[in-house]
Amino acid sequence: MQAVTLTVTDFMTIAGAALAIILIMALFVFLLLKLTNSDKKGLYLPMVFGNTSYLGYPVALFAFGMDGLSRAVVYDMMNALVIFSLGIYIVHHK
């Protein structure tokens, strides 16, 4: 097994970029659903949050090696944090 070193700066940069991507997608999907007068709130979460674990990990490992996989894990950690906090709010908000 190969060890990968990830600096705090890299971690914070990736986490910040992940948060920015998620928030931009959330705003885009919100506006899209408002413009189309869609009442399908169930589409919101799958359109904002991608399948970054089961699909993303093998792709990151294949394309970028262990360094890319470690960065994909950081991205996925932020994705999971937001979906299990903001995602729950979105589902229960009327």
Report the percentage of the chain scoring pLDDT > 70: 98
Mean pLDDT of 15-44: 88
Q: In this model, does residue 1 exceed pLDDT 90?
A: no
Q: Which residues contact 82 (CB under 8 A, 6 or more apart)?
A: 19, 22, 49
Task: Give dist(CA 89, CA 65) in Å, integer.
Answer: 36
Cα distances from 51 to residues 43, 47, 91, in angstroms, run: 14, 10, 18
| Domain locations along the chain | 8-92
Mean pLDDT of 80-89: 89
pLDDT bin (cut points 50, 70, 90) of residue 23 is very high
Pair 26, 15: CB distance under 8 Å: no
Residue 49: DSSP 8-state = S
